[in-house]
Amino acid sequence: MKKAELLAPAGNLEKLKMAVLYGADAVYLGGEEFSLRAYADNFTFDDLKSGVEFAHDKGKKVYITMNIFPHNQDLKKIPEYIKEVSSIGVDAIILSDPGILSMVKEMAPDMEIHLSTQANNTNFMSARFWHDQGVKRVILARELSLDEIREIKENTPDSLEIEAFVHGAMCISYSGRCLLSNYMAGRDSNRGLCAHPCRWKYYLMEEKRPDEYFPVYENERGTFIFNSRDLCMIGHIPELIEAGVSSLKIEGRMKSSFYVATVVKAYREALDAYYQNKDSYKFDPRLFEEVCKVSHREFTTGFFFNKPGPNDQIYATSSYIRDYDFVGVVQKYDKTTKIATIEQRNRMYKGEEIEVVNPKGDFFVQKIEWMKNIDGEDIDIAPHPQMTVYMPMKEDVQEYTMLRRKSSSNE
């Protein structure tokens, strides 16, 4: 049986490298145009070439998003863009629009095509239709149960792959076909410019009392009426795979490198444990603890087991839970001296306890015994963003090993 793919977001070149090194089988990313994450760092053409080379050297794949719903003026640049991304060897194009599909087939006939969740594929007849048009993989709408996914898989050709989101932020408009941002902020979510008005706080105003605002709520708990919990299916790997999901997708091109690496590593370990012994597989709750160490909202299983209800919304706040800080990433390591060269990401202090997370294996805990700056001077604090710091390591580390600590604001 072919193993399910673990697919990770890559908002920039560093995130791509982190995703690959921490266990992703493939990454999806956006160029500077035609992607639904216009406010991510995204990839220049040179970065895209470097990213494809890095991933392919590690035996991993790269999928590029072209999943906007284009207007007429968007169509002018698309053919040349398709030729460019095809020339550097991306493994697939993710799209949602039939016009872009026809242009990909014309400009890059050998390119693998994946249908975006934006296309709202919710049934097997639709999946068959897209497969007949040349689509290799359908990324299913978020509003499907495991039973519905299983039925789609059973009623479509074996050559059609099924991808589903398993972790990350949930859109109140399910598959993302939303006009609220366009209306409220003049930013078209279907062209990559969503202002996330679903996370805003709303009040009710009566037309003859323009200065009187009344809170809008379903009960006394709060007023964030559109604010969904984040999706988390790490505890349900067997159910996903047995339903026919062939690619498990993590949301988060706007998230940090720390988020990408931590979540990917946890899902990688869960997947590997399942395939090592499917008959006696038991989920390790430690892995859920790991995904909780990155910035997140309270979790839900979305539509997979039943339709979300009031308990799947967060009414009181739109803030994230942040229990851990990402404080540094290893750039170099000398095995002889056991000294690591660290790029600082948040303030670090001599004497504080940190967790050291390698791409593979368990993390270890140590105290920062001493630190030196780039001039070799002893320092008690590393206060400057991305400053270079030298410190001893209790155990061996490698490039892109992460340093994290429990957030002082949560103690």
pLDDT digits (tens, 9 = 90+) for 239-248: 999 999 999 9
pLDDT at position 411, please?
42
pLDDT at position 41, please?
64
Handedness of CA 177, 36, 143, 184 (dihedral sign): negative
Helical (H) or strand (E) element with 9: strand 5-9
Across 142-155, average pLDDT: 95
Which is more confident, 132 or 211?
132
What does 325-374 look like in DSSP terms, one character per residue? Answer: EEEEEEEEEETTTTEEEEEESS-EETT-EEEEE-SSS--EEEE---EE-T
Note the pLDDT tens digit of each residue in 300-323: 898 899 877 666 556 556 566 888
Across 179-199, average pLDDT: 67
pLDDT at position 353, please?
97
Note the pLDDT tens digit of each residue in 325-335: 999 999 999 99
pLDDT at position 228, please?
75
**pLDDT higher than threshold 90 for residue 157:** yes
Lowest mean pLDDT among 11-20, 84-93, 228-237, 395-404: 228-237
Per-residue exposure over 347-356, b if at least 16 CB sit within 10 Å of its own CB, e if not = ebbeeeebbb
pLDDT at position 66, please?
93
Which is more confident, 396 or 180?
396
**pLDDT higher than threshold 80 for residue 4:** yes
Under 8 Å between Cβ of 223 and 195: no
Domains along the chain with CATH numbers:
5-174+227-312 (3.20.20.70), 324-410 (2.40.30.10)
**pLDDT higher than threshold 70 for residue 137:** yes
pLDDT at position 43, please?
86
Kindly report each contact of residues 331-334 with a partner whose C-beta sits within 8 Å and lies 24 or more positions away, as own/partner. Answer: 331/388, 331/399, 332/399, 333/393, 333/396, 333/397, 333/398, 333/399, 333/401
pLDDT at position 91, please?
98
Structure tokens at 9: 């977001």
Under 8 Å between Cβ of 81 and 34: yes
Residue 140: closest CA among 265, 132, 151, 312: 151
Amino acid identity, position 318: S
Mean pLDDT of the chain: 89
pLDDT at position 297, please?
82
Note the pLDDT tens digit of each residue in 5-63: 999 999 999 999 999 999 999 999 998 777 665 555 678 899 999 999 999 999 999 99
